[in-house]
Amino acid sequence: MAVPRIRQLRAYTVRGGGADYHDQAAGHWIDDHIATPMARYPEYRHSRQSFGLNALGTLVVEAEADDGSVGLGVTVGGEPGAWIVEKHLAGLVEGQRVTDLEKIWDQLYLSTLHYGRKGLVLNTVSGIDLALWDLLGQVRQEPVYHLLGGAVRDELVFYATGPRPDLAQKMGFIGGKLPLRHGPAEGEEGLRANLDALAAMRQRVGDDFWLMWDCWMSLDLDYATRLAHAADEYGLRWIEEPLLPDDYWGHADLRRRMPARMLLTAGEHEATRWGFRLLLETGQVDIVQPDVGWCGGITELRRIAALADSHGKAVVPHGSSVYSYHFVLSRPNSPFAEFLMMHPDATEVVPMLHPLLLDEPVPEGGRLRVPDRPGFGVRLNRELDLSRPHTH
Ligand SMILES: C[C@H](O)[C@H](O)[C@@H](O)[C@@H](O)C(=O)O
Ligand SMILES: [Mg+2]
Protein backbone atom coordinates (compact mmCIF):
# COMPACT_ATOMS: atom_id res chain seq x y z
CA MET A 1 0.00 0.00 0.00
CA ALA A 2 1.46 3.39 -1.06
CA VAL A 3 2.04 5.67 1.92
CA PRO A 4 0.59 9.16 1.33
CA ARG A 5 3.08 11.99 0.97
CA ILE A 6 2.89 15.51 2.41
CA ARG A 7 1.66 17.74 -0.38
CA GLN A 8 1.72 21.12 1.37
CA LEU A 9 2.68 22.71 4.69
CA ARG A 10 0.76 25.91 5.43
CA ALA A 11 1.06 28.47 8.23
CA TYR A 12 -1.50 30.93 9.58
CA THR A 13 -1.39 33.53 12.32
CA VAL A 14 -4.23 34.66 14.52
CA ARG A 15 -4.56 37.09 17.43
CA GLY A 16 -6.65 36.97 20.60
CA GLY A 17 -6.18 33.87 22.75
CA GLY A 18 -5.69 30.50 21.13
CA ALA A 19 -2.26 28.89 21.45
CA ASP A 20 -0.83 32.23 22.61
CA TYR A 21 -3.16 32.08 25.58
CA HIS A 22 -1.44 35.10 27.16
CA ASP A 23 -2.89 37.19 24.30
CA GLN A 24 -6.12 38.04 26.14
CA ALA A 25 -8.29 41.15 26.45
CA ALA A 26 -7.68 43.59 29.34
CA GLY A 27 -8.86 42.50 32.78
CA HIS A 28 -7.96 38.82 32.43
CA TRP A 29 -6.41 37.26 35.57
CA ILE A 30 -3.48 35.98 33.50
CA ASP A 31 -2.22 39.53 32.99
CA ASP A 32 -2.94 40.92 36.44
CA HIS A 33 0.24 41.75 38.38
CA ILE A 34 2.01 38.39 38.13
CA ALA A 35 5.67 38.22 39.20
CA THR A 36 8.16 38.05 36.33
CA PRO A 37 11.91 38.68 35.83
CA MET A 38 10.94 42.05 34.27
CA ALA A 39 9.40 43.20 37.57
CA ARG A 40 12.78 44.74 38.53
CA TYR A 41 11.63 47.50 36.16
CA PRO A 42 8.57 49.06 37.89
CA GLU A 43 6.95 50.18 34.65
CA TYR A 44 6.57 46.51 33.63
CA ARG A 45 5.37 45.18 36.98
CA HIS A 46 1.60 45.49 36.52
CA SER A 47 1.20 43.50 33.30
CA ARG A 48 3.13 40.90 31.32
CA GLN A 49 1.63 42.21 28.08
CA SER A 50 3.29 45.54 28.93
CA PHE A 51 6.66 43.98 28.05
CA GLY A 52 5.34 41.90 25.16
CA LEU A 53 4.55 38.46 26.55
CA ASN A 54 1.87 38.26 23.84
CA ALA A 55 4.04 39.84 21.13
CA LEU A 56 4.16 36.74 18.91
CA GLY A 57 0.56 35.51 18.87
CA THR A 58 -0.69 32.12 17.72
CA LEU A 59 0.94 30.09 14.94
CA VAL A 60 -1.29 27.53 13.19
CA VAL A 61 0.36 24.85 11.03
CA GLU A 62 -1.59 22.72 8.55
CA ALA A 63 -0.03 19.69 6.84
CA GLU A 64 -2.00 18.35 3.87
CA ALA A 65 -1.28 14.94 2.34
CA ASP A 66 -1.83 13.88 -1.25
CA ASP A 67 -4.79 11.75 -0.14
CA GLY A 68 -6.55 14.93 1.02
CA SER A 69 -6.04 14.37 4.75
CA VAL A 70 -5.09 17.49 6.75
CA GLY A 71 -3.23 17.64 10.07
CA LEU A 72 -3.38 20.59 12.49
CA GLY A 73 -0.76 21.84 14.94
CA VAL A 74 -0.80 25.03 17.01
CA THR A 75 1.81 26.89 19.07
CA VAL A 76 3.11 30.34 20.00
CA GLY A 77 4.93 31.83 17.02
CA GLY A 78 2.89 34.35 15.05
CA GLU A 79 4.28 36.03 11.91
CA PRO A 80 7.96 35.08 12.40
CA GLY A 81 6.99 31.46 13.01
CA ALA A 82 4.75 31.45 9.94
CA TRP A 83 7.61 32.81 7.86
CA ILE A 84 9.98 30.06 9.09
CA VAL A 85 7.35 27.43 8.23
CA GLU A 86 6.61 28.64 4.72
CA LYS A 87 9.92 30.18 3.65
CA HIS A 88 12.31 27.63 5.16
CA LEU A 89 10.92 24.40 6.61
CA ALA A 90 8.08 23.62 4.19
CA GLY A 91 10.73 22.92 1.53
CA LEU A 92 12.19 20.13 3.68
CA VAL A 93 8.84 18.57 4.63
CA GLU A 94 6.77 18.62 1.42
CA GLY A 95 7.13 15.41 -0.58
CA GLN A 96 8.07 13.30 2.45
CA ARG A 97 5.95 10.32 3.55
CA VAL A 98 3.42 10.99 6.34
CA THR A 99 4.99 8.13 8.36
CA ASP A 100 8.53 9.54 8.42
CA LEU A 101 8.19 11.64 11.59
CA GLU A 102 11.63 10.81 13.03
CA LYS A 103 13.53 11.67 9.84
CA ILE A 104 11.52 14.87 9.37
CA TRP A 105 12.11 15.95 12.98
CA ASP A 106 15.85 15.32 12.62
CA GLN A 107 15.98 17.45 9.48
CA LEU A 108 13.88 20.26 11.02
CA TYR A 109 16.17 20.43 14.07
CA LEU A 110 19.49 20.11 12.22
CA SER A 111 18.54 22.55 9.45
CA THR A 112 17.69 25.29 12.00
CA LEU A 113 20.60 24.68 14.41
CA HIS A 114 22.33 27.85 13.24
CA TYR A 115 19.42 30.01 14.38
CA GLY A 116 17.30 27.74 16.56
CA ARG A 117 17.85 25.17 19.34
CA LYS A 118 15.18 26.69 21.62
CA GLY A 119 12.48 29.40 21.78
CA LEU A 120 10.62 30.55 18.67
CA VAL A 121 12.32 28.13 16.30
CA LEU A 122 11.67 25.09 18.49
CA ASN A 123 8.09 26.33 18.92
CA THR A 124 7.84 26.33 15.12
CA VAL A 125 9.42 22.87 14.81
CA SER A 126 6.97 21.71 17.50
CA GLY A 127 4.00 23.16 15.64
CA ILE A 128 5.01 21.31 12.47
CA ASP A 129 5.57 18.08 14.42
CA LEU A 130 2.12 18.34 16.02
CA ALA A 131 0.52 18.88 12.61
CA LEU A 132 2.33 15.80 11.28
CA TRP A 133 1.21 13.60 14.20
CA ASP A 134 -2.35 14.83 13.66
CA LEU A 135 -1.97 14.11 9.92
CA LEU A 136 -0.78 10.56 10.57
CA GLY A 137 -3.77 10.05 12.84
CA GLN A 138 -6.10 11.37 10.13
CA VAL A 139 -4.54 9.10 7.49
CA ARG A 140 -4.71 6.07 9.79
CA GLN A 141 -8.10 7.17 11.25
CA GLU A 142 -6.73 6.60 14.77
CA PRO A 143 -6.29 8.91 17.80
CA VAL A 144 -2.69 9.96 18.43
CA TYR A 145 -2.53 8.05 21.72
CA HIS A 146 -3.00 4.82 19.74
CA LEU A 147 0.04 5.77 17.65
CA LEU A 148 1.97 6.37 20.90
CA GLY A 149 1.40 2.85 22.19
CA GLY A 150 -2.08 3.12 23.67
CA ALA A 151 -3.62 4.28 26.93
CA VAL A 152 -2.13 3.33 30.31
CA ARG A 153 -5.14 4.78 32.17
CA ASP A 154 -8.87 5.20 31.47
CA GLU A 155 -9.02 8.94 32.00
CA LEU A 156 -6.90 11.97 32.87
CA VAL A 157 -7.04 13.83 36.19
CA PHE A 158 -6.08 17.49 36.34
CA TYR A 159 -4.85 20.20 38.61
CA ALA A 160 -6.06 23.73 37.72
CA THR A 161 -3.91 26.83 37.19
CA GLY A 162 -5.41 30.18 38.09
CA PRO A 163 -6.28 32.56 40.93
CA ARG A 164 -9.17 30.48 42.34
CA PRO A 165 -8.01 27.11 43.73
CA ASP A 166 -11.00 27.28 46.05
CA LEU A 167 -13.35 27.09 43.06
CA ALA A 168 -11.13 24.49 41.35
CA GLN A 169 -11.50 22.30 44.44
CA LYS A 170 -15.28 22.48 44.17
CA MET A 171 -15.03 21.59 40.47
CA GLY A 172 -13.18 18.34 41.24
CA PHE A 173 -9.59 19.26 40.33
CA ILE A 174 -6.83 17.56 42.38
CA GLY A 175 -5.04 20.81 43.16
CA GLY A 176 -4.72 24.51 42.40
CA LYS A 177 -1.63 26.32 41.12
CA LEU A 178 -1.56 30.02 41.97
CA PRO A 179 0.40 32.57 39.96
CA LEU A 180 2.93 34.21 42.32
CA ARG A 181 2.23 37.93 42.35
CA HIS A 182 5.28 39.52 44.00
CA GLY A 183 9.00 38.98 43.46
CA PRO A 184 12.25 40.28 45.02
CA ALA A 185 11.80 43.78 43.60
CA GLU A 186 8.81 44.25 45.92
CA GLY A 187 10.87 43.36 49.00
CA GLU A 188 9.63 42.08 52.33
CA GLU A 189 6.22 43.67 51.80
CA GLY A 190 5.74 41.61 48.64
CA LEU A 191 6.98 38.45 50.33
CA ARG A 192 4.51 39.00 53.15
CA ALA A 193 1.69 39.61 50.65
CA ASN A 194 2.54 36.34 48.88
CA LEU A 195 2.41 34.41 52.13
CA ASP A 196 -0.79 36.10 53.28
CA ALA A 197 -2.46 35.12 50.00
CA LEU A 198 -1.27 31.52 50.37
CA ALA A 199 -2.39 31.35 54.01
CA ALA A 200 -5.84 32.68 53.08
CA MET A 201 -6.22 30.15 50.26
CA ARG A 202 -5.06 27.30 52.51
CA GLN A 203 -7.73 28.38 54.99
CA ARG A 204 -10.37 28.15 52.23
CA VAL A 205 -9.37 24.77 50.78
CA GLY A 206 -8.35 22.91 53.94
CA ASP A 207 -5.24 20.81 54.48
CA ASP A 208 -5.64 18.05 51.89
CA PHE A 209 -5.98 19.98 48.62
CA TRP A 210 -2.76 20.57 46.71
CA LEU A 211 -1.67 24.20 46.50
CA MET A 212 1.27 25.21 44.28
CA TRP A 213 2.98 28.43 43.25
CA ASP A 214 3.97 29.23 39.68
CA CYS A 215 6.83 31.73 40.00
CA TRP A 216 7.33 32.23 36.25
CA MET A 217 11.16 32.61 36.43
CA SER A 218 10.85 35.66 38.69
CA LEU A 219 12.93 34.88 41.78
CA ASP A 220 16.53 34.72 42.94
CA LEU A 221 18.00 31.91 45.04
CA ASP A 222 17.81 33.75 48.35
CA TYR A 223 14.21 34.89 47.88
CA ALA A 224 13.10 31.46 46.60
CA THR A 225 14.76 29.76 49.59
CA ARG A 226 13.06 32.04 52.10
CA LEU A 227 9.72 31.85 50.30
CA ALA A 228 9.82 28.04 50.15
CA HIS A 229 10.60 27.64 53.85
CA ALA A 230 7.88 30.12 54.87
CA ALA A 231 5.36 28.50 52.47
CA ASP A 232 6.10 25.05 53.89
CA GLU A 233 4.00 26.05 56.90
CA TYR A 234 1.01 26.12 54.52
CA GLY A 235 1.87 22.83 52.85
CA LEU A 236 2.89 24.22 49.46
CA ARG A 237 3.03 21.14 47.21
CA TRP A 238 5.51 22.52 44.69
CA ILE A 239 7.33 25.69 43.71
CA GLU A 240 7.45 26.07 39.93
CA GLU A 241 9.97 27.84 37.69
CA PRO A 242 11.42 29.92 40.57
CA LEU A 243 14.65 30.85 38.75
CA LEU A 244 15.82 31.72 35.23
CA PRO A 245 15.56 28.60 32.97
CA ASP A 246 19.28 28.76 32.07
CA ASP A 247 20.31 28.74 35.74
CA TYR A 248 20.42 24.94 36.10
CA TRP A 249 22.98 25.33 38.88
CA GLY A 250 20.70 27.66 40.86
CA HIS A 251 17.92 25.07 40.67
CA ALA A 252 20.27 22.48 42.18
CA ASP A 253 21.24 24.90 44.97
CA LEU A 254 17.56 25.60 45.68
CA ARG A 255 16.74 21.88 45.70
CA ARG A 256 19.38 21.37 48.38
CA ARG A 257 18.16 24.33 50.47
CA MET A 258 14.34 24.01 50.23
CA PRO A 259 12.16 21.78 52.44
CA ALA A 260 12.50 18.12 51.48
CA ARG A 261 8.77 17.48 51.26
CA MET A 262 8.20 20.37 48.79
CA LEU A 263 8.73 19.60 45.09
CA LEU A 264 10.78 21.74 42.69
CA THR A 265 9.28 21.79 39.18
CA ALA A 266 10.30 23.46 35.90
CA GLY A 267 10.62 22.96 32.17
CA GLU A 268 7.88 24.80 30.29
CA HIS A 269 10.49 27.17 28.79
CA GLU A 270 13.02 24.37 28.16
CA ALA A 271 13.45 22.56 24.84
CA THR A 272 14.89 19.29 23.47
CA ARG A 273 16.27 16.21 25.20
CA TRP A 274 19.55 18.07 25.81
CA GLY A 275 17.88 20.92 27.67
CA PHE A 276 15.91 18.49 29.80
CA ARG A 277 19.04 16.42 30.46
CA LEU A 278 20.58 19.55 31.99
CA LEU A 279 17.40 20.29 33.98
CA LEU A 280 17.29 16.73 35.34
CA GLU A 281 20.98 15.99 35.90
CA THR A 282 22.22 19.46 36.85
CA GLY A 283 19.01 21.18 37.91
CA GLN A 284 17.82 18.28 40.05
CA VAL A 285 14.14 19.16 39.52
CA ASP A 286 11.49 16.75 40.83
CA ILE A 287 8.89 17.09 38.04
CA VAL A 288 9.60 18.27 34.49
CA GLN A 289 6.90 20.27 32.70
CA PRO A 290 7.68 20.47 28.98
CA ASP A 291 5.20 22.25 26.75
CA VAL A 292 4.60 19.94 23.78
CA GLY A 293 4.19 23.00 21.55
CA TRP A 294 7.53 24.47 22.63
CA CYS A 295 9.91 21.57 23.56
CA GLY A 296 10.07 19.94 20.10
CA GLY A 297 6.63 18.40 19.70
CA ILE A 298 5.48 14.85 20.39
CA THR A 299 8.51 13.33 18.65
CA GLU A 300 10.92 15.03 21.07
CA LEU A 301 8.61 14.79 24.09
CA ARG A 302 8.77 10.99 23.77
CA ARG A 303 12.54 11.20 24.25
CA ILE A 304 12.26 13.71 27.09
CA ALA A 305 9.74 11.52 28.91
CA ALA A 306 11.93 8.42 28.57
CA LEU A 307 14.92 10.37 29.89
CA ALA A 308 12.88 11.64 32.87
CA ASP A 309 11.60 8.11 33.51
CA SER A 310 15.20 6.84 33.63
CA HIS A 311 15.74 9.36 36.45
CA GLY A 312 12.54 8.25 38.19
CA LYS A 313 10.95 11.63 37.54
CA ALA A 314 7.38 12.47 36.47
CA VAL A 315 6.55 14.40 33.30
CA VAL A 316 3.53 16.69 33.70
CA PRO A 317 3.37 18.72 30.48
CA HIS A 318 2.66 22.43 30.71
CA GLY A 319 -0.96 23.17 29.77
CA SER A 320 -1.30 22.54 26.03
CA SER A 321 -4.78 21.06 25.70
CA VAL A 322 -5.34 18.01 23.49
CA TYR A 323 -1.76 18.15 22.21
CA SER A 324 -0.47 16.92 25.57
CA TYR A 325 -3.57 14.95 26.68
CA HIS A 326 -2.87 12.13 24.20
CA PHE A 327 0.70 11.97 25.45
CA VAL A 328 -0.20 11.97 29.16
CA LEU A 329 -2.77 9.22 28.49
CA SER A 330 -0.03 6.99 27.06
CA ARG A 331 2.78 7.54 29.62
CA PRO A 332 3.11 5.68 32.93
CA ASN A 333 5.24 8.52 34.33
CA SER A 334 2.65 11.20 33.59
CA PRO A 335 0.23 10.68 36.49
CA PHE A 336 -1.82 13.86 35.99
CA ALA A 337 -2.13 16.88 33.70
CA GLU A 338 -2.45 20.67 33.90
CA PHE A 339 -5.59 22.58 32.98
CA LEU A 340 -5.19 26.34 32.57
CA MET A 341 -8.35 28.16 33.65
CA MET A 342 -8.72 30.57 30.78
CA HIS A 343 -12.01 32.17 31.85
CA PRO A 344 -11.08 35.80 32.70
CA ASP A 345 -11.99 35.31 36.38
CA ALA A 346 -11.29 31.53 36.51
CA THR A 347 -14.85 31.02 37.70
CA GLU A 348 -15.76 28.41 35.07
CA VAL A 349 -14.13 25.81 32.83
CA VAL A 350 -13.72 27.01 29.22
CA PRO A 351 -11.62 25.44 26.44
CA MET A 352 -7.97 26.36 27.07
CA LEU A 353 -7.21 27.35 23.48
CA HIS A 354 -10.51 29.18 22.87
CA PRO A 355 -11.51 30.33 20.26
CA LEU A 356 -8.97 28.51 18.06
CA LEU A 357 -10.28 24.93 17.96
CA LEU A 358 -13.59 23.22 17.33
CA ASP A 359 -14.39 20.11 19.43
CA GLU A 360 -11.74 21.01 22.06
CA PRO A 361 -12.59 18.82 25.08
CA VAL A 362 -12.49 20.14 28.65
CA PRO A 363 -12.30 18.31 31.99
CA GLU A 364 -15.56 17.61 33.79
CA GLY A 365 -15.24 17.18 37.51
CA GLY A 366 -11.50 17.64 37.04
CA ARG A 367 -11.33 14.53 34.83
CA LEU A 368 -11.38 13.77 31.11
CA ARG A 369 -11.82 10.70 28.93
CA VAL A 370 -9.86 11.63 25.80
CA PRO A 371 -12.21 11.40 22.78
CA ASP A 372 -11.36 8.56 20.38
CA ARG A 373 -11.46 10.80 17.31
CA PRO A 374 -8.63 10.57 14.72
CA GLY A 375 -5.45 12.53 15.36
CA PHE A 376 -5.80 14.99 18.25
CA GLY A 377 -9.53 15.10 17.58
CA VAL A 378 -9.90 18.83 16.99
CA ARG A 379 -10.56 21.07 13.99
CA LEU A 380 -9.46 24.61 13.17
CA ASN A 381 -12.10 27.32 13.69
CA ARG A 382 -12.10 28.82 10.21
CA GLU A 383 -14.41 31.64 11.30
CA LEU A 384 -11.33 33.31 12.81
CA ASP A 385 -9.29 35.98 11.04
CA LEU A 386 -6.53 33.62 9.87
CA SER A 387 -3.66 35.32 7.99
CA ARG A 388 -0.98 33.72 5.82
CA PRO A 389 2.58 35.13 6.25
CA HIS A 390 3.74 38.09 4.21
CA THR A 391 5.90 36.65 1.46
CA HIS A 392 7.90 39.82 0.76
C1 LIG B 1 0.07 31.11 35.24
C2 LIG B 1 1.51 31.29 34.83
O3 LIG B 1 1.91 32.58 35.27
C4 LIG B 1 1.72 31.22 33.35
O5 LIG B 1 0.88 32.18 32.72
C6 LIG B 1 1.40 29.86 32.75
O7 LIG B 1 1.48 29.96 31.35
C8 LIG B 1 2.39 28.75 33.04
O9 LIG B 1 3.51 29.13 33.76
C10 LIG B 1 1.75 27.52 33.65
O11 LIG B 1 2.47 26.75 34.29
O12 LIG B 1 0.54 27.32 33.38
MG1 LIG C 1 4.36 27.46 34.80
- Give the pLDDT confidence of 157-211 residue by residue, as tens digits: 999 999 999 999 999 999 999 999 999 999 999 999 999 999 999 999 999 999 9
Rg of the chain (C-alpha set): 20
Q: Span 249-262, mean pLDDT? A: 98
How far apart CA 30 and CA 174 sit, in angstroms, is 21
Phi, psi angles (nearest 5°) of residue 165: -55, -30
Which residue puts its alpha carbon closest to atom 1 of ligand 1?
179
Going by pLDDT thresholds of 50, 70 and 90, the confidence category of residue 391 is low
Going by pLDDT thresholds of 50, 70 and 90, the confidence category of residue 1 is confident
CA 161 to centroid of ligand 1, rounded, Å = 7
Contacts of 289 (CB under 8 A, 6+ apart): 240, 265, 266, 267, 268, 315, 316, 317, 318, 338
CA 214 to centroid of ligand 1, rounded, Å = 7
Mutate to test the pocket of ligand 1, among 216, 244, 291, 315 (most ligand atoms within 8 A of CB): 216
Going by pLDDT thresholds of 50, 70 and 90, the confidence category of residue 86 is very high
Cross-strand bridge partners of residue 340 = 161
pLDDT (0 to 100) of residue 389 = 80
> Read out DSSP for 122-133?
HHHHHHHHHHHH
Q: Span 335-347, mean pLDDT? A: 98
Q: At what angle do helices 248-257 and 221-231 cross, to 10 degrees?
A: 30
For the chain, what is the mean pLDDT?
97
Q: Span 303-315, mean pLDDT? A: 98
Instruction: Determine the atom of ligand 1 nearest the C-alpha atom of 319.
Output: 12
From the list 318, 326, 343, 354, the catalytic residue is 318
How far apart CA 391 and CA 85 sit, in angstroms, is 12
List pLDDT tens digits, range 89-129.
Answer: 999 999 999 999 999 999 999 999 999 999 999 999 999 99
Q: Span 248-275, mean pLDDT? A: 98
Lowest mean pLDDT among 47-61, 221-235, 327-341, 376-390: 376-390
Give the number of the ligand closest to the Cα of residue 30: 1
Residue 146 annotated among the catalytic residues of the structure: no
CA 291 to centroid of ligand 2, rounded, Å = 10
pLDDT (0 to 100) of residue 390 = 72
Which residue puts its alpha carbon closest to atom 10 of ligand 1?
318
CA 216 to centroid of ligand 1, rounded, Å = 7
Distances, alpha carbon 237 to alpha carbons 34, 214, 259, in Å: 20, 11, 11
Give the number of the ligand closest to the Cα of residue 21: 1
Instruction: Determine the atom of ligand 1 nearest the C-alpha atom of 21.
Output: 7
pLDDT (0 to 100) of residue 87 = 96
How far apart CA 390 and CA 108 sit, in angstroms, is 22
Give the number of the ligand closest to the Cα of residue 34: 1
Q: Span 231-238, mean pLDDT? A: 98
Q: Span 347-363, mean pLDDT? A: 98
- Three-state DSSP class for 145? helix
- What pTM did the predictor assign? 0.98
Where is the binding site, in residues?
Answer: 22, 48, 214, 240, 268, 338
ipTM: 0.99
> Read out DSSP for 305-328?
HHHHHHTT-EE-PPS-THHHHHHH
Within 6 Å (CB) of ligand 1, which residues are found? 30, 34, 161, 179, 214, 216, 268, 318-319, 338, 340
What the chain holds in terms of domains, given with CATH numbers, is 6-141 (3.30.390.10), 147-380 (3.20.20.120)
Q: Give Cα 107 to chain centroid, integer Å.
A: 24
CA 98 to centroid of ligand 2, rounded, Å = 33
Q: At what angle do helices 221-231 and 187-205 cross, to 10 degrees?
A: 30
For residue 48, the one-letter residue type is R
Q: Span 209-220, mean pLDDT? A: 98
